[in-house]
C-alpha cells in the first residue's frame, strides 16, 4: 500500500520544532519504554536506524556501558545536527539511507528503529539490509504506529482538517499511521530470513500539561506545520476552533489527549550453522 501526500522532516524549522515540542511529549516516553522493555543492552553494539534527533540513541548510550557502542543513522542532515547536540561523543552518527545502509556487514548486535520503517521507500530491501549488518543471533526491534484512528490526537487533527475541506493536508498527516499494516510489517522481516518474528501492541497516554491550547499549537510542530501556516487566516482559525472542540470531547481531564498505539516488532537473525 502506497502512502499519498508528503511528510518531510528535511526543513530546518520542522526538525527544530519536532525536537522541541514533539520529542518531550511523545517520542522520548516511547524511547524510554523501548529501552526498558528490550533489555539487556550492556556491552552491545546497537544501531539506531532513523535516529532522528537522537532520542533513542541518547537513552541507549546510557545503558550499553563502556564496552558497548551506539550508532545513530539517519538520511536527514538537519535531524542529525540536532542529534549531535543531544548526545555525547559516545554516540557515532552516520548520514545514510536505510538502503543501502552505510554500515559493514555483521558488525552490530541489535538494530532498533523507532517510527521510521514506515517511511522507507523500499521496505523489503531495508529489512534485508538490517539482516546484513547484524551478527548471527542479533536482534531487530522496529516500532510503527497503528492506524491514525487509534492514535487519537493525530486522528482528531485529521478529522478537523477534513471538516474544513483540507483533505490533502489530512492525507499527509495520515502517512506515518495508515500505510504500514501489521501483516506487511511481519512479512517484510520473514521474507528477509528473520526468525521468531513477533508483533505486540503497546499503548501510552499522550498528555499535554498546557491542555487543549497546547495540543492545538503542537500541530504546528508536526511536519504538516508548514502546510498549516500556508492556509489563509480564516482557514487557520477554522482549523484551530474545530480541533479544539474535538479535543475537548476527547479529553477526560483537560490534559490527556487520548492514547497512542504502536506495533512493536521483534525478530532474530538466525545463528550460524
pLDDT at 94: 98
**pLDDT tens figures, 199-238:** 999 999 999 999 999 999 999 999 999 999 999 999 999 9
Interval 16-42 mean pLDDT: 96
What SS3 class is residue 214? helix
Round to whole Å and give the CA distance between 273 and 78.
42
User: Apex CA 215: angle with CA 211 and CA 219, to 5°?
Assistant: 170
Pair 128, 183: CB distance under 8 Å: no
**pLDDT tens figures, 86-97:** 998 989 999 999
Position 10 pLDDT exceeds 60: no
Q: pLDDT band for position 272 (50/70/90)?
A: confident
Amino acid at each position: 500500500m502506497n502512502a499519498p501526500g508528503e511528510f518531510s522532516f528535511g526543513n530546518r524549522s520542522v526538525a527544530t520544532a519536532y525536537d522541541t515540542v514533539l520529542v518531550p511529549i511523545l517520542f522520548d516516553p516511547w524511547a524510554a519504554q523501548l529501552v526498558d522493555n528490550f533489555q539487556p543492552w550492556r556491552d552491545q553494539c546497537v544501531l539506531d536506524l532513523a535516529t532522528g534527533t537522537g532520542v533513542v540513541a541518547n537513552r541507549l548510550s546510557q545503558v550499553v556501558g563502556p564496552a558497548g557502542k551506539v550508532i545513530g543513522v539517519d538520511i536527514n542532515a538537519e535531524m542529525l545536527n540536532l542529534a549531535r547536540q543531544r548526545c555525547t561523543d559516545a554516540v557515532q552518527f552516520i548520514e545514510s539511507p536505510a538502503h543501502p545502509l552505510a554500515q559493514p556487514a555483521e558488525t552490530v548486535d541489535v538494530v532498533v528503529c523507532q517510527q521510521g520503517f514506515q517511511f522507507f521507500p523500499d521496505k523489503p530491501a531495508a529489512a534485508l539490509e538490517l539482516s546484513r549488518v547484524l551478527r548471527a543471533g542479533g536482534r531487530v526491534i522496529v516500532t510503527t504506529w497503528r492506524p491514525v484512528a487509534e492514535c487519537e490526537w493525530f486522528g482528531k487533527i485529521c478529522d478537523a482538517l477534513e471538516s474544513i475541506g483540507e483533505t490533502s493536508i489530512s492525507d499527509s498527516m495520515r502517512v506515518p499511521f495508515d500505510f504500514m499494516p501489521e501483516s506487511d510489517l511481519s512479512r517484510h522481516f520473514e521474507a528477509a530470513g528473520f526468525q521468531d518474528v513477533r508483533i505486540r501492541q503497546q499503548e501510552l497516554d499522550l498528555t499535554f500539561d498546557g491542555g487543549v491550547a497546547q495540543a492545538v499549537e503542537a500541530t504546528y510542530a508536526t511536519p504538516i506545520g508548514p502546510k498549516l501556516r500556508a492556509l489563509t487566516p480564516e482557514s487557520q482559525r477554522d482549523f484551530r476552533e474545530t480541533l479544539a472542540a474535538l479535543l475537548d470531547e476527547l479529553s477526560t481531564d483537560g490534559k490527556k489527549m487520548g492514547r497512542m498505539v504502536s506495533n512493536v516488532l521483534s525478530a532474530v537473525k538466525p545463528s550460524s550453522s
